[in-house]
Structure 1
């Protein structure tokens, strides 16, 4: 049953990531990866909200939805791409913003649901 919950959550999260990234990037066309930053911060907030919830809810939302929605690999690739293209400050800003906003969003989600 747990595997099915993870599968269902991921089946929603992965296409949502793609659509959200395309939407954000279309509104803010630049080389900075605002779309990836946005989905990672939203996913961090959602994960913070369900931390400590029932195992079924953590499997569905935490592992499935948030796992499909967020993307560490794309964040890493886009940061390396920025650095290789000579945009070191943007690469640094991407790392700093992702860490600060992601951890802050998770903490906020956790605090709001406790």
Structure 2
């Protein structure tokens, strides 16, 4: 039960923060959802760092990993919104922005995970 509460609490905080970031940044560009992009990239960086610390040493307990990686990062990042935004770009005929957003999100997300893992090795 404790693990479920940790995931619930972390996910709630992550979801609230994602909402605030997306609400404040998604309107800056007409065809690029900056808020969603940033939360997903930051979430990738954080999960790489958190799991890197967790795997490297006993720096984080399994409960802390659940709270931060599964809970917070799971609530903070959003694949469903990412997919919906891609769909809306396709429906509006914005193929260039669709591919730029799709490819940059995937490539930069993977690079952010790698950077997080690398940063965790420095500690």
Using the size of structure 1 for normalisation, the TM-score is 0.93
Cα distance in structure 1, aligned partners of 2:72 and 2:14: 4
Cα distance in structure 2, aligned partners of 1:64 and 1:96: 26
Using the size of structure 2 for normalisation, the TM-score is 0.87
Asked if residue 84 in structure 1 is aligned to residue 91 in structure 2, the reply is yes
RMSD: 1.1
Equivalent pair of 2:46/2:113 in contact (CA under 8 Å): yes
Moved more, 17-26 or 96-105: 17-26
Asked if residue 61 in structure 1 is aligned to residue 68 in structure 2, the reply is yes
- 1:25 Cα deviation from its structure 2 partner: 2.2
Match of 2:39 in 1: 39
Gaps of 5+ in 2: 55-60
- 1:11 Cα deviation from its structure 2 partner: 1.2
Indicate the structure (1 or 2) with the bigger Cα radius of gyration. Answer: 2
Distance 1:94 1:29, change over 3 A: closer
Cα distance in structure 2, aligned partners of 1:60 and 1:109: 17
Gaps of 5+ in 1: none
